[in-house]
Amino acid sequence: QKEVEQDPGPLSVPEGAIVSLNCTYSNSAFQYFMWYRQYSRKGPELLMYTYSSGNKEDGRFTAQVDKSSKYISLFIRDSQPSDSATYLCAMTTGGFQKLVFGTGTRLLVSP
């Protein structure tokens, strides 16, 4: 079993839809959670960074962490074609420990 599970997709939605992206994990020691967006042939770009359980909102993006269920989500409101990319979740136990990534979910937003 992988430490972090993420559906690879692709997830296809129409423009304006609310998108829900999710990851589950098995290591209860993870405390720091990140979402990255990666366009084709580019490096990942940090979207959201959260600590422990709870919600965090930034513009059209909302990150949720439920440590009791070992489940994290990224919601994108009013999705745009420019949101079409691969979204990677990542997490770490803290300190200077390495990040553990999900496989990434490919999102396609059609006009």
Partner 1 sequence: GAVVSQHPSRVICKSGTSVKIECRSLDFQATTMFWYRQFPKQSLMLMATSNEGSKATYEQGVEKDKFLINHASLTLSTLTVTSAHPEDSSFYICSARKRTVNTEAFFGQGTRLTVV
Is 38 within 8 Å of 88 (Cβ atoms)? yes
| Residue whose CB is less far from partner 1, 12 or 18 | 12
CB of 16 to partner 1, least distance (A): 27
Which residues lie below 8 Å from residue 39, measured CB to CB, with a gap of 6+? 45, 85, 86
Cα gap 16→111, rounded to integer Å:
9
Q: Where does this chain bind partner 1 (CB under 8 A)?
A: 32, 34, 36, 41-46, 49, 51, 88, 90, 94-96, 98-99, 101-104, 106
Q: Which pair of tokens denotes residue 45? A: 């770009």
Query: Smallest distance, Å, CB 106 to partner 1?
Result: 8
Q: Which is nearer to partner 1, 10 or 16 (CB)?
A: 10
C-beta closer to partner 1: residue 17 or 99: 99
Q: Report DSSP state, residue 3.
A: S
